[in-house]
């Protein structure tokens, strides 16, 4: 299956919009209001920095859009809380991957209904998934090369020409949420590029999830209301959920004074001073910040020389970078983040060795080289700016004998050089398109990120062959070992230096329960409760 980065498709990195829409002050666990009917209702207010384009599951792949669609569209499979190592049933009550890894058979659950009360059928599943694949929206790559068919009224099969063990890990993505096909078709939905349903799907919802759309604005806020006909066992606790576009500094103020109950985008520094009985969840994010050393001699004779990447790898002070990143962050032992199948264990992280770095530099044939480090100037990842990281790396490598010239640039400018493989040294990050290790084969020679570092196909035939084999390997244990071996080899001879996984810091009111960070949809709104 073709591997592609959502960052590559949607400007690569989150666009941090700023905006603030004030609402009436809310108490710690969500405001209680009394509608004209008389019964009290609960409202949950979530502040986040919007990266949002649409609520149409066939078109969305931005972080805020995935939060929204997770609440309004059920998927065939899902993940249990934070655990993304094993997909579990949702609209499908069971699933089975064929022994050759080419066919995924899913038995649909009885009794699941859409928000209008109509049943979820196999026809709805086939239409929804075919629409995502053939409409060619941002998430269509998830189902590239996958045929979707109805076997009978309660069975759907997904078939690939080659073994595709990642399929069960793709299906929980909210972009693959199941639409009420009759309603969607009546409002312009098709399974090709003529589809006109986006406007309708941004104003209402045609899903079976615990919430529906009350209002939707890509700049200011999204309001969700509980689905009164939700079929699932766990009914939504909050009658209304308001998701607001708020810059990080204001998020902190709002949650501290009770104007919101959840803040999703605070940095380590910001949460270190949180008080007032608030709950702070610090967990390593799925984002891996890394350095790349270009292997194309026409771009840099310095960084492409054998041994230079090793000098960088041994010269970086990882403990110092973790200090900058704050509590909850961890050093990345490989390019696959710690919560995914195939991640390297923590005891395999690189360690600083200044003398070893100097020896590697000497062996590379370079003496006091000067290289340019490029990175996006205004970008923050999990509240962490690239500028202090770049400055620390510059100081680290100075001790080794490498002179680093910092070259920050606006995201669009930096992206252009990065995507076209023109950076001598680059400082970037990768977030998973889907929580499966096959997404990280993009770092191999001739693949997407490999080419961005000037690492062309044929540069390491043994590693490339290992990647081809891993992509079709079946069984969790075998896959785990295959991807661990690939990363070990990447760390030994590749052009990438995994640095850190910055912390995902989420602050909630004391009465909010059920929070679990998930690298696909950040937070499952419907799982949040109140005490």
137-162 residue pLDDT tens: 999 999 999 999 999 999 999 999 99
pLDDT the model gives residue 274: 87
- Residue 185's CATH number: 3.40.190.10
Q: What is the domain range of residue 39?
A: 6-281+505-530
Same domain assignment for residues 316 and 427 = yes
Residue among 204, 193, 192 at smallest CA distance from 72: 204
Residue among 55, 42, 21, 7 at smallest CA distance from 289: 7
Question: What's the Cα-to-Cα distance from 114 to each of 217, 223, 277, 528, rounded to whole Å?
Answer: 23, 19, 39, 21
Same domain assignment for residues 275 and 148 = yes
Q: Give the three-state DSSP class for 452.
A: helix
Q: Please state the three-class secondary structure of 23-87 as a single string.
A: CCCCCCCCEEECCCCCCCEEEEEEEECCCCCCCCCCCCCCHHHHHHHHHHCCCCEEEECCEEEEE
Same domain assignment for residues 22 and 156 = yes
pLDDT the model gives residue 205: 86
pLDDT tens by residue, the chain, 531 residues: 333 444 444 333 333 333 333 333 333 445 554 333 333 469 999 999 999 999 999 999 999 999 999 999 999 999 999 999 999 999 999 999 999 999 999 999 999 999 999 999 999 999 999 999 999 999 999 999 999 999 999 999 999 999 999 999 999 999 999 999 999 999 999 999 999 999 999 999 899 999 999 999 999 999 999 999 999 988 999 999 999 999 988 999 999 999 999 999 998 888 988 877 899 999 999 999 999 999 999 999 999 999 999 999 999 999 999 999 998 999 999 999 999 999 999 999 999 999 999 999 999 999 999 999 999 998 888 888 999 999 999 999 999 999 999 999 998 899 999 999 999 999 999 999 899 999 999 999 999 999 999 999 999 999 999 999 999 999 999 999 999 999 999 999 999 999 999 999 999 999 999 999 999 999 999 999 988
Same domain assignment for residues 523 and 437 = no
Q: Give the three-state DSSP class for 525.
A: helix
Residue with token string 């204001």: 250
Helix spans in 157-233 (H):
167-170, 181-186, 198-201
Residue among 222, 232, 203 at smallest CA distance from 44: 222
Separation CA 280–CA 263 (nearest Å): 10
Separation CA 413–CA 489 (nearest Å): 32
Residue 406 lies in a domain: yes
Same domain assignment for residues 388 and 447 = yes
The pair of three-digit structure tokens given for residue 389, joined into one six-digit string: 């990281």
Q: What is the DSSP string of 307-340?
A: THHHHHHHH--HHHHHHHH-TT-EE-SSSS-TTS
Same domain assignment for residues 87 and 52 = yes
Same domain assignment for residues 384 and 253 = no
Residue 1 lies in a domain: no
pLDDT the model gives residue 13: 38
pLDDT the model gives residue 269: 85
Residue 3 CB partners (closer than 8 Å, separation 6+): 433, 438, 439, 441, 442, 447, 448
Residue among 224, 245, 248, 246 at smallest CA distance from 236: 224
- Residue 382's CATH number: 3.10.105.10
Same domain assignment for residues 406 and 324 = yes
Same domain assignment for residues 158 and 61 = yes
Residue 402 lies in a domain: yes
pLDDT the model gives residue 276: 77
* pTM, to two decimals: 0.88
Per-residue pLDDT of 5-44, as tens digits, reads: 444 443 333 333 333 333 333 334 455 543 333 334 699 9
pLDDT the model gives residue 30: 59
Residue 352 lies in a domain: yes
Same domain assignment for residues 419 and 344 = yes
Residue 185 lies in a domain: yes
The number of domains in the chain is 2
How many C-beta neighbours within 10 Å does residue 37 have? 6
Q: Are 65 and 205 in contact (CB under 8 A)?
A: no
Same domain assignment for residues 276 and 302 = no
Residue 11 backbone class (left: φ over 0; alpha: ψ -120 to 50; beta: rest) = left
pLDDT the model gives residue 31: 55
The pair of three-digit structure tokens given for residue 173, joined into one six-digit string: 């993505």
Separation CA 440–CA 424 (nearest Å): 22
Same domain assignment for residues 496 and 413 = yes
Q: Are 356 and 519 in contact (CB under 8 A)?
A: no
Please name every residue paired with 403 in a beta bridge, in sequence order, or none if there are none: 370
Separation CA 113–CA 1 (nearest Å): 32
Strand 503-508 and strand 279-284: the pairing is antiparallel
Residue 364 lies in a domain: yes
Question: What's the Cα-to-Cα distance from 275 to each of 248, 267, 279, 510, 511, rounded to whole Å?
Answer: 16, 15, 9, 11, 15
């Amino acid at each position: 299956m073709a591997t592609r980065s959502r960052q590559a498709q949607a400007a690569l990195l989150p666009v941090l919009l700023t905006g603030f829409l004030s609402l009436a002050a809310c108490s710690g666990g969500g405001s209680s209001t009394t509608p004209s009917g008389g019964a009290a209702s609960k409202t949950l207010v979530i502040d986040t920095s919007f990266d949002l384009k649409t609520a149409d599951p066939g078109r969305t792949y931005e972080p805020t859009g995935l939060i929204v669609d997770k609440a309004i569209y059920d998927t065939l499979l899902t993940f249990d809380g934070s655990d993304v190592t094993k997909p579990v049933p949702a609209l499908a009550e069971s699933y089975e991957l064929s022994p050759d890894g080419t066919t995924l058979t899913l038995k649909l659950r009885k009794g699941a209904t859409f928000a209008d009360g109509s049943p979820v059928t196999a026809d709805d599943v086939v239409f929804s998934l075919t629409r995502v694949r053939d409409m060619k929206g941002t998430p269509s790559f998830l189902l590239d090369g996958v045929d979707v068919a109805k076997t009978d009224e309660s069975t759907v099969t997904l078939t690939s020409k080659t073994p595709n063990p990642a399929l069960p890990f793709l299906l929980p993505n909210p972009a693959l949420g199941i639409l009420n096909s009759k309603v969607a078709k009546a409002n312009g939905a098709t399974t090709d590029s003529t589809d006109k349903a986006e406007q309708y799907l941004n104003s209402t919802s045609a899903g079976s999830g615990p919430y529906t759309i009350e209002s939707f604005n890509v700049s200011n806020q999204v309001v969700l209301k509980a689905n009164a006909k939700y079929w699932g066992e766990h009914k939504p606790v909050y009658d209304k959920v308001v998701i607001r576009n708020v810059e990080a500094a204001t998020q902190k103020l709002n949650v501290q004074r009770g104007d919101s109950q959840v803040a999703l985008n605070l940095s380590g520094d910001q949460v270190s001073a949180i008080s007032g009985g608030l709950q702070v969840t610090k967990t390593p994010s799925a984002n891996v910040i890394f350095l790349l050393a270009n292997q194309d001699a026409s771009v840099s004779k310095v960084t492409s020389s054998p041994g230079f990447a090793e000098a960088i790898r041994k010269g970086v002070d990882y403990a110092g970078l973790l200090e900058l990143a704050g509590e909850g962050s961890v050093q990345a032992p490989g390019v696959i983040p710690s919560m995914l199948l195939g991640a390297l264990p923590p005891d395999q992280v690189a360690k600083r060795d200044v003398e070893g770095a100097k020896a590697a530099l000497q062996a590379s044939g370079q003496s006091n080289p000067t290289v340019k480090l490029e990175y996006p100037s205004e970008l923050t990842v999990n509240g962490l700016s690239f500028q202090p990281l770049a400055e620390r790396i510059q100081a680290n490598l100075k001790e080794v004998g490498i002179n680093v010239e910092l070259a920050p640039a606006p995201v669009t400018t930096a992206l252009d050089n990065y995507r076209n493989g023109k950076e001598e040294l680059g400082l970037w990050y990768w977030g998973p398109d889907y929580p499966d290790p096959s997404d990280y084969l993009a770092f191999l020679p001739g693949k997407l990120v490999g080419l961005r570092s000037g690492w062309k196909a044929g540069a390491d035939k043994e590693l490339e062959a290992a990647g081809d084999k891993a992509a079709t390997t079946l069984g969790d244990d075998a896959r785990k070992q295959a991807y661990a071996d690939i990363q070990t080899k990447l760390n030994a001879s590749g052009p990438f230096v995994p640095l850190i996984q910055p912390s995902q810091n989420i602050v909630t009111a004391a009465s909010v329960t059920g929070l679990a960070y998930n690298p696909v949809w950040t937070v499952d709104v419907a799982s949040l409760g109140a005490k």
